[in-house]
Amino acid sequence: MCKEDEDIENFLHNRAIEFEKISKARTYLIVDADKLMAEDSEFVICGYVSLALKILTISEHESNRIRKKLDGFNAKMHGIPIQEFPVYLIGQLARDSRYTNSDLSGSELLQCATDVIVSAVNAVGGRYAMIECHNEPKLISFYENNGFKTLTKVPDQDMPLVQMIKGVY
């Protein structure tokens, strides 16, 4: 898959099946339909998305306006500010390095993830999709251009992560 990012490569080869077995995440493969149709061709994965459920925890210092928006109904429950909100996590989003953006764009990968999430929302409810990405301007810009809004930064060992959300209801 993506030779530039060992974490992405490692996830697909070593963690995706493990996560599938314990229902921690579902990974959806995007295959090259042209190669799949050829009789003597092998199964070629051109990209994948991995989705999971996550609890988004909001700091006690955040405003009630944000809490109410995230909850969709209330900012408090029994007089206590709501701090935890269920979200759909887009945990992995990757394209094989042999494919270009014109073959399979990041926006198309996100749309695949969103389509699955919308199916889940229609079946059981939910309001938001979330991504956690490295605090790199190019990544932030990509997700903003695809409708995500920055929520918060989370400390990480190497580089802080940025949590971004998008309404999917």
* DSSP SS3 for 151: strand
**Residue spans of the chain under pLDDT 70:** 1-6, 35-41, 156-157
pLDDT at 129: 97
Domains, the chain, in order of start with CATH, read 6-167 (3.40.630.30)
pLDDT at 119: 97
At 42, the amino acid letter reads: E
Q: Transcribe 34-59 into DSSP letters.
A: HHHHSTTPPP-EEEEEEEEEEEEEPP
Beta strands in 96-148 (DSSP E): 128-134
Contact 134, 161 (CB under 8 A): yes
pLDDT at 156: 67
Q: What is the pLDDT of residues 129-158, one digit of tens each?
A: 999 998 899 999 999 999 999 998 887 667
pLDDT at 3: 41
Q: The whole model's pTM is what?
A: 0.87
